[in-house]
Structure formats: structure tokens, C-alpha cells
Amino acid sequence: MTEISQTTAATTTSTAKTTTSPTTASALSSDFETFLKMLTAQMKNQDPLNPIESTDYAVQLATFSSVEQQVQTNTLISALSEQLGVIGMSQTASWVGKEVKSEAPAYFDGNPVSLSVTPDSSADASYLLVRNSEGTEVQRVEIDPKETDITWSGMDKDGYPFSNGRYSFAIESHSNGSFLSSSAALTYSEVTEARRDGGDITLILNGGGEISADDVLSLREAR
């Protein structure tokens, strides 16, 4: 684990969902009864010299019945989705108080920030870039290109802490003085709340940041 406290220059998936309300299902059931009455009346009043084919009756009945079954199926699927959402919320609630790893900015409150980094494998020099909430680079620090887990102390070159707030991090990889690549440094943030927004679970992080539960890469006990 490498602690960083030195600085140089600081200048600069949708998926459509079909749902049917109980009112719609009830209305369709009523329409189905009306359809049967109309079908019966049609059979009683048909021209005896030119009767309607029995297959035509069967087609009409089968078509309406199919629609009714589809609506009922959609109603059951909607109810099942709500049940699964409750289960997902219950499971995610256990994440509160733990740390999640993601690409989200981390909140600095004077305590060191844990980072997971992946410098280019061919790099002979790597730099941690720190940006404030406005996207301005406030620190650039050289790190060991072989390190994968580091700690940002939040101190400037004179040993004074940066202001409290959210900071984002990136890694620049170089080889023989030439730029190779840049990648996001992953942060660990404590979950303070889990909230359900429609069909999605939103996690509230320390400092007020928000991420989707789907964006979490790993979970660990808070340190």
C-alpha cells in the first residue's frame, strides 16, 4: 500500500416494461362477457340460407381469449416484478455501512481515500491525477507503476489538507517519456443509504454522492 502526499503543479440498459392495471383487466373481462353475448346473438340471428362457418366462430373466440390471457399474464408479470424489486431492496439494504468500489468520485473529509488502480502493464512511469468537483486538476503525483492499491492522503506539497469535497481520480501511464494511456482510478466509498427509484436501486454514498447499485464493482467491510 502506497500513501500519496506529495504534489507538483496544480493548475488546471432500456428494457421496455408492459404493465396492466386491475381496472384494465376488469374492463377486458367485462368486454369478454359482452363478446360472448354478441356471439350468441349472432348465432341466433344468422341467415339460415347462408350460415356463418363454425370455423369463423372459433377464430373469433380464440382471438379474444388469447388477448385476455395475454393481459392476465402481463398483470402477473407486473406483480412478480414488484415482488423481485422488494427482494432486491432488502438485499441491497445490507450494504449500508459497507464500502463499495466504483468509478464514482470519492468524498474527502480529511481521512485518506483508498483507490484501486491499473496502470498500463508496459508503463515505466505512472501518475495519479486528482480533480476536484469542478473537474479541475489539483494534484499530479508519480506512483509505482506496479502498484494496484494505493491511498491518497489528501495533502498538498506543504502538508496541508485539501478542502473537504468530492474528488475524482485517474491514472496516466508513460513509457520512455511517452504517454501510453489514461484510465479511471476506482474509489472505495461507504454506503449511507439504499433507495429504490422505480425499478432501480440507488446507493447514497458518504458525502451525498449517488450511484446505481448496478455500477458497484465490489463490496467490502468499511475500514
Closest CA to 169 of 192, 138, 125: 138
Beta bridge partners of 129: 140, 170
pLDDT digits (tens, 9 = 90+) for 10-55: 333 333 334 444 555 555 556 667 767 777 777 777 767 676 666 7
pTM of the model: 0.59
Least confident stretch, 25-29, 102-106, 188-192: 25-29
In this model, does residue 78 exceed pLDDT 70? no
Adjacent-strand bridge partners of 170: 129, 184
| pLDDT per residue as tens digits for the range 112-136 | 999 999 999 999 999 999 999 999 9
Q: Which are the contacts of 105, defined by CB distance < 8 A and separation ≥ 6? A: 133, 166, 167, 168, 187, 209
